[in-house]
Amino acid sequence: MIRVGMGYDVHQLVSGRDLWMGGIKIEHTMGLLGHSDADVLIHAICDAILGAANMRDIGFHFPDTSSETEGMDSKIILRKTIELIATKGYRLVNIDATICAQRPKMNPHIPAMQQCMADVIGTDPDNISIKATTTERLGFTGREEGISAYAVALIEK
């Protein structure tokens, strides 16, 4: 049996925080605000994976009201998400994700993101497709107020 899930996440850009994307730290003048490290790419991917397994979302499993998840590295959330779907007999087949950010440019970092997440998941980096786009200076992304990410995940039993 194969199943597909879709995920979306957005976080506000603020001064004084590190920018984490796809499990790696990216040099930038601002970072994303959130209860954890606010890695929008990993969060969207986890929601897609959990959705495919009909296991709700990361807010359900890793609530932003919990002291245990405060400041949490999103790579831990990703690893635990893979463990959660395994309890129902599922494994990840592939991910297709898009980061929406005006700045910084994400393309140079994509191979490192793919390798990082593949190592966490225990899969080949070729199973993790990441694309990046701007919003042509439109909306909150274009005004550099935040970054969002979309993801689709395929799982199989």
Question: Residues comprising the binding site?
Answer: 9-11, 35-36, 43, 57-59, 133-136, 140, 143
- The DSSP line for 52-116 is HTT---HHHHS-TT-TTTTT--HHHHHHHHHHHHHTTT-EEEEEEEEEE-SSS--GGGHHHHHHH
Which residues carry a binding-site annotation for a divalent metal cation? 9, 11, 43
> Can you say whether the dihedral through the CA atoms of 40, 58, 120, 117 is positive or negative?
negative
SS3 assignment, position 44: helix
Question: Are the C-beta atoms of residues 133 and 98 closer than 8 Å to each other?
Answer: yes
Q: For residue 94, what are the CA distances in angstroms to 29, 46, 50, 135, 156?
A: 32, 12, 13, 26, 10
